[in-house]
Amino acid sequence: MPAKLIVQGLSHHYPDEYTGESVHALDDINLEVEDGEFVSVVGPSGCGKSTLLNILAGLLPYREGSVTVDGNVIDGPGHDRGVVFQEHAILPWRTVARNIGHGLELQKVPKGERNRKVKEFIDLVGLEGFEDRYPHELSGGMKQRCAVARTLCADPVVMLMDEPFAAVDAQTRITLQEELIRISIATKKTILFITHAVDEAAFLADRCMVFSRRPGRLIATVDINIPRQDRNWNEMSSNSEFTRARDQILKLVRGEVSADEA
């Protein structure tokens, strides 16, 4: 079966906001994400990983290379690619339930079916009892759960996540990471997860792609061979595969930083 997400020879330049000079953000990116696979992309800040995500999301037009999802060349945003953003981007004027059902509403899915699916995803992310609350009444972690449920409820082919847990406190982040593992098992979603946190990249993903500093280039791929159901933070500190993968990713990321600064 062909990969769900295929990126071939993707390069990107954009003019700097102040100087007008052309910035080389991505350089010849090639990657594939298989059906049901969880891939993380890690790299130093300014390595173009957010640029990559915006291109995949269809929010940023690209000229060099090709990107296909399920065999279709992407050209603008679409509900085949769901995105969970770093900032809480759920709509403040919609209740939790209406935010989660928004994608289905846009696709004109009948109300009965919509409500049923909304309930399913509310249960999945543990927001029972908060259906009629507005986002400002939720904690940071709950807002991100709501955002994840909104994306999943629209049933995308690929879920793209742009440092979704960067803005929550450390305890909540650990909980959300474990929940995301559980959710990925339950939904079997294909997930591309962007982060600058090495621990997070190694904990969540089956495969981690390490980016260099600008221009962003894919320098290495690290496989993390741990069954998804075994992934929880209590076990990980003593899991040799996890520590090996984490240290390897860390070296790659740091090596890149020092090479650049030297």
Partner 1 sequence: MRHSRHPLWKFGRFLRDANFSHFVVSVVVILVIWSITSATIDNPGRYLPSPLAVALSSVDMLYKGILPSYFADTIRRLVLGSIIGLSLGIPFGLLLGLNRTISDMFYPLLNFFQSISGIAIFPIIVIWWGNSDKTVLAIVLYTSFFPLAYTVLSGVREVPMKYIHAVRTLGATRFQVIRDVLLPGAMPSIVTGTRLSISFAWRAVIAGEMLAGREGLGWMIFTGQDADLTTQVILGMLMIGCSWIILDHYLLRPLEMDTIERWGLVQR
73 near partner 1, rule: CB under 8 A: no
Rg (CA), the chain: 18
Strands in 38-42's sheet, in edge-to-edge order, are: 81-84, 158-162, 190-195, 38-42, 207-211, 218-223
DSSP 20: -
161 near partner 1, rule: CB under 8 A: no
From the list 40-48, 76-84, 116-124, 186-194, the region that binds partner 1 by CB under 8 A is 76-84
77 near partner 1, rule: CB under 8 A: yes
**Residue-level length of the chain:** 262
Contacts to partner 1 from residues 46-65, by CB under 8 A: 57-59
Give the three-state DSSP class for 257.
helix
Binding-site member from 36, 46, 65, 78 for partner 1 (CB under 8 A): 78
From the list 33-41, 78-86, 176-184, 227-235, the region that binds partner 1 by CB under 8 A is 78-86
Q: How many residues lie near partner 1 (CB under 8 A)?
A: 28
Binding-site member from 79, 182, 228, 244 for partner 1 (CB under 8 A): 79
Which is closer to partner 1, CB of 164 or CB of 215? 164
State the binding string over 86-125 for partner 1 (x if CB under 8 A, else -). -x-xxxxx--------xx--xx------------------
Least Å distance between CB 12 and partner 1?
17
Task: Please name the helix (run of DSSP H) or strand (run of DSSP E) that holds residue 36, with its range, or none.
Answer: none
164 near partner 1, rule: CB under 8 A: no
Least Å distance between CB 38 and partner 1?
19
Strands in 64-69's sheet, in edge-to-edge order, are: 22-33, 5-15, 64-69, 72-73
What CA–CA distances, in Å, run from 7 to 32, 69, 70, 106, 181? 6, 9, 12, 28, 25
Which is closer to partner 1, CB of 52 or CB of 147? 147
Q: Which residues, at least 6 apart from 179, have a Cβ–Cβ distance to it below 8 Å?
A: 125, 126, 145
Binding-site member from 7, 127, 149, 154 for partner 1 (CB under 8 A): 154
Burial class (CB in 10 A: 0-12, 13-18, 19+), 17: exposed
* Torsions phi, psi for 81 (to 5 deg): -120, 110
Nearest-10 crossing angle of helices 170-187, 111-125: 130
Which is closer to partner 1, CB of 141 or CB of 255? 141
85 near partner 1, rule: CB under 8 A: yes
Binding site for partner 1 (CB under 8 A): 57-59, 77-79, 81-83, 85, 87, 89-93, 102-103, 106-107, 134-137, 147, 150-151, 154
